[in-house]
């Protein structure tokens, strides 16, 4: 069973009130138009954040409130949430990125993207994802963190290609960011040693490595 998408309760209430509808009107629309047996009390509970509607209910609610599914979602983070926010079904998205429907569905269910570079570029374009959003949605944050930690603690040049395979950025951008990260990390380590610290296992090094992904994106144009 899929978890409920991140429902934007205040937005649902604002949209309903803007249409001059009461919770009862929404409940009636859900029942009459979509066959969902939902009472006014449950609609109110959704709007107060006490309960969360499922995917089918959010789609139906968007129809009743004359809005897009994305209008009823908080900031999406997963592939499934981004797809829903764009109002796309699995068959449509799979076709647009050049994947078999079942293959895409397995990736979405697992939260792990396995597409090639062309498919990754198509996915980012279709869903309107920034490079950072793409990485989070495809479940590659920790994988990137491991590559970046190796890059700053050893020879960064050896990790340009592994990094470029993970993030939809130009190779020149990746090279520039890795070089800057490496220089920053090494300068911190030199400073730690000059203060009588204990090299890369010290607090300064651990803090830098713990925040390596956020530092990467801060340096990315």
Q: Is residue 130 part of a domain?
A: yes
pLDDT digits (tens, 9 = 90+) for 82-113: 998 888 889 999 999 999 999 999 999 988 88
Q: How far is CA 24 from the centre of its chain?
A: 34
Q: Is residue 2 part of a domain?
A: no
Residue 58 and residue 72 in contact, taking contact as beta carbons nearer than 8 Å: yes
pLDDT at 199: 46
Whether residue 161 is found in the same domain as residue 182: yes
- Residue range of the domain that includes 30: 9-72
Q: What is the CATH number for 60?
A: 1.10.260.40
Q: Is residue 3 part of a domain?
A: no
Whether residue 48 is found in the same domain as residue 117: no
Spell 177-189 as b/e; 16+ CB within 10 A means b. Answer: bbeebbeebeebb
Whether residue 117 is found in the same domain as residue 163: no
Instruction: Give the C-alpha distances (Å, rounded to integers) separating 212 from 2, 142, 145, 151, 182.
Output: 31, 10, 6, 10, 11
Residue 118 reports pLDDT greater than 70: yes
CA distance linking residue 92 with residue 97, whole number of Å: 9
Count up the domains in the chain and report the number.
Answer: 3
Residue 221 reports pLDDT greater than 90: no
């Amino acid at each position: 069973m899929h978890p409920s998408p991140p429902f934007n309760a205040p937005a649902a209430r604002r949209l309903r009130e803007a249409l001059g509808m009461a919770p009862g009107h929404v409940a009636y629309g859900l029942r009459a138009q979509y066959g969902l047996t939902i009472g006014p009390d449950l609609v109110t509970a959704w709007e107060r954040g006490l309960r969360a509607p499922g995917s089918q209910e959010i789609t139906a609610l968007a129809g009743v409130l004359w809005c897009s599914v994305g209008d009823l979602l908080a900031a999406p983070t997963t592939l499934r949430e981004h797809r829903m926010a764009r109002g796309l079904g699995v068959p449509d998205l799979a076709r647009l990125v050049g994947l078999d429907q079942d293959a895409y569905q397995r990736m979405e269910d697992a939260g792990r993207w396995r597409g090639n570079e062309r498919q990754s570029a198509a996915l980012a374009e279709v869903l309107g994802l920034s490079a950072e959003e793409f990485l989070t949605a495809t479940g590659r944050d920790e994988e990137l963190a491991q590559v970046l930690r190796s890059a700053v603690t050893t020879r960064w040049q050896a990790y340009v290609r592994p990094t470029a395979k993970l993030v939809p950025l130009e190779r020149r951008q990746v090279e520039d960011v890795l070089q800057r990260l490496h220089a920053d990390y090494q300068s911190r380590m030199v400073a730690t040693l000059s203060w009588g610290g204990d090299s890369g296992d010290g607090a300064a090094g651990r803090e830098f490595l713990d925040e390596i992904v956020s530092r990467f994106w801060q340096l990315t144009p």
